[in-house]
Structure 1
Amino acid sequence: MTWSADRFHDLFVEVIRSSGRWRDLDPEALLGRWDRFVADCEKGYPYDMEDYSNDRTSRSSIEVALNTPELQGYSGMVVFRTRVEIIDARFRPLLIPDVFTNIPEKKWWSRGLVRYARRKLVSEVWESFGIEIAEVE
């Protein structure tokens, strides 16, 4: 099945664009960005805190789609939701949960922090928050 096979694709893009996202608007692109971010985290996130924060926004946009009633009746949404759950299942164990308690619990991907990363992020997390995460090379 291709995402553009029905109205789902167009409606999905419309929903994500109206939420303020300006790139990676279609389901494949958005899932791809989330998957690449998680893959980077699995190896030890190689960039800085600004990039880390920015890359997590893909999951926030995904959450918008998952909670938009107009998208729920489409078979494409079932496929999308399943793929999100698979990627999320890879990401959750990488997190120290509840690091940022001022963020709502339902935004678990932003509330937690990766357990390990490359030197740049490790240093910035320590300097900014006084939180020690493991460094990988």
Structure 2
Amino acid sequence: MGDSGSGFDRGFAQAFVDKGWRTEASPGEVSERWQRFAADCLAGYPWDLEDYLNDLTMRTLVSEVLPQLTGSAADAFRAGIERTDLDVRKVLDRDSFPSFPSDQWWLRSSPSYAARSFCAEFESAYGVHVRAQSRFDDDVAELSGLVAGGLTPAEACLRLRASNHYVAATDSLFLRAAREALGLDRKASRALWSWLTGRTTDTDLRAALDQA
């Protein structure tokens, strides 16, 4: 698979599907997703175990496709993945599952720290303790503290969203944090999502979250 540009992209996407990925994925999409995974790991992984395993599966497929790739576009993709690997390995640094081959270090390793809910899920599934440390948990505590300090749920969301907090940069992560901190029901969660994605206004958010 030595084509460059769009030919490389098409070949890569087909190879990924052939290896078992559910949908076609371009090299750029795969590289970006692995970078997001690295950033989340460095911050203290905040998602569910299923999400974590999906990203590890993706990295495994990358390792299976990489030997087929040649040419400058392939070299650039490979270099980007390897740079991101360095960040992932800063957190996935415990050799917890030695039955996996050493070159699949992402499967052999467990995180040294992560968000509390992930830690509990990981230990329940594998019996491996992970230290609870995450910027996500810190932001959940911050949001809870804003409400405890007298702000309404909507005003607390508005303030946190306007900050440089970790969860403020990602709509789905902000929603997850708000659900955990504020105990939002399904209706309130839908209203918050509409606001996060720009479909409703601050006034609409206040009406939806603060009506009680």
> TM-score, normalising length from structure 1?
0.87
Q: How does 1:115-130 map to 2 (within 5 A)?
A: 115-130=112-127
CA deviation vs aligned residue, 1:53-95 (integer Å, no higher than 9, x gap): 1121221121122122xx22x2101100110111001111211
Inter-partner Cα distance in structure 2 for 1:112 and 1:24: 27
Highest RCO, 1 vs 2 (Cα 8 Å, sep ≥ 6): 1
Q: Which runs of 5+ in 1 are unaligned?
A: none
Aligned-pair identity (%):
33
Inter-partner Cα distance in structure 2 for 1:131 and 1:5: 43
Offset of residue 6 of structure 1: 4.5
2:97 to 100, 112, 122: 100
1:78 to 75, 79, 86: 75
Give the direction of change, closer, same or farther, for the CA distance of 1:7–1:24 in structure 2 (3 Å limit): closer
Inter-partner Cα distance in structure 2 for 1:9 and 1:116: 35
Q: Secondary structure at the match of 1:54?
A: helix
- Aligned amino acid, residue 15 of structure 2: V
1:90 correspondence with 2:87: yes
Give the direction of change, closer, same or farther, for the CA distance of 1:33–1:24 in structure 2 (3 Å limit): farther
Inter-partner Cα distance in structure 2 for 1:51 and 1:7: 30
RMSD of Structure 2 on Structure 1 (CA): 1.8
The number of residue pairs the alignment matches comes to: 132
- Aligned amino acid, residue 25 of structure 2: L
> TM-score, normalising length from structure 2?
0.58
Aligned to 1:37: 37
- Check conservation: 2:45, 2:114, Cα contact below 8 A: yes
Aligned to 2:52: 52
Q: Which runs of 5+ in 2 are unaligned?
A: 138-212
Greater C-alpha radius of gyration: 2
Offset of residue 4 of structure 1: 6.9
Offset of residue 126 of structure 1: 2.2
Inter-partner Cα distance in structure 1 for 2:44 and 2:89: 14
